Homo-oligomer: A and B are copies of this chain.
């Protein structure tokens, strides 16, 4: 009954309902107005995401009497940008393919619903020192000296994400650039050099809300799914509910 907003992405999306997470904050903002559905898949890159597409977003929406989402965030790239020849190379996807995979995802969503608001989000920047500390905390002395991701390479992915959004006329969030505008972004916004801290989550939330509002998907403008309790007459509650059905 309520419109759906789907968050599709990797671990930064999957973990977005943790305390102070950006997904939970969105769910709270759209409370009683839209359902925020988490479709985050930790460790996934865009190549693997393609395998999920038809099941997560079936083309049968209209036949099936269920409605397609009104909006979706597409937030991949952090794993695609893992370097070849390093510990996370299994997740690597070449940047050209990353861009084309994103295009396929967008095309599929637009086929489900041409009016769906699709927002592309770039991967966050990489704090290489933070990644190294994290690897040492997990693997101890066995941690390799060479980083599995670099900020320089991740930038290439972020740029292609933004370029695709421009090509396709989509709204986008350049998280890679936005985070780096703040001094000390490495520790302020990233907990392990990659995943957002509570402050990083707050930035992702604010950016998504800003873009949603610019696209008129403003919670303030959307109706409650049932009367607000203050509109219910204690003696004749049925009046409020009948009105709702008109």
Q: Which residues of A line the B interface, CB within 8 A?
A: 1, 14-15, 17-21, 24-25, 27-28, 31-32, 35, 37-38, 40-44, 47-48, 51-52, 55-56, 64-66, 79, 89-92, 226, 228-230, 232-234, 237-238, 241
Q: With both chains docked as a complex, state the minimum distance between the C-beta of A224 and any C-beta of chain B, in angstroms.
A: 9
B15, B18, B52, B90: which contacts A234 (Cβ < 8 A)? B90
B24, B27, B40, B234: which contacts A91 (Cβ < 8 A)? B234
Whether A41 and B229, one on each chain, are in contact in the complex, defined by CB atoms closer than 8 angstroms, is yes
Whether A89 and B43, one on each chain, are in contact in the complex, defined by CB atoms closer than 8 angstroms, is no
Whether B24 and A27, one on each chain, are in contact in the complex, defined by CB atoms closer than 8 angstroms, is yes
Whether B51 and A32, one on each chain, are in contact in the complex, defined by CB atoms closer than 8 angstroms, is no
Whether A24 and B14, one on each chain, are in contact in the complex, defined by CB atoms closer than 8 angstroms, is no
Contact partners of A91 in chain B: CB under 8 A? 229, 234
Q: How many copies does the complex hold?
A: 2
Contact partners of A89 in chain B: CB under 8 A? 234
Tell which of A42, A55, A65, A226 has the most Cβ of chain B within 10 Å.
A226
Whether A229 and B43, one on each chain, are in contact in the complex, defined by CB atoms closer than 8 angstroms, is yes
B24, B52, B233: which contacts A21 (Cβ < 8 A)? B24
A17 to B238, CA, bound (A): 29
Whether B31 and A14, one on each chain, are in contact in the complex, defined by CB atoms closer than 8 angstroms, is yes
Q: With both chains docked as a complex, state the minimum distance between the C-beta of A194 and any C-beta of chain B, in angstroms.
A: 14
Whether B234 and A51, one on each chain, are in contact in the complex, defined by CB atoms closer than 8 angstroms, is no
| Apart from A41-B226, A43-B228, 20 more pairs, CB < 8 Å | A14-B31, A15-B28, A15-B31, A17-B25, A17-B27, A17-B31, A18-B28, A19-B25, A31-B38, A41-B229, A43-B229, A43-B232, A44-B229, A48-B232, A51-B238, A66-B66, A79-B229, A89-B234, A90-B232, A91-B234
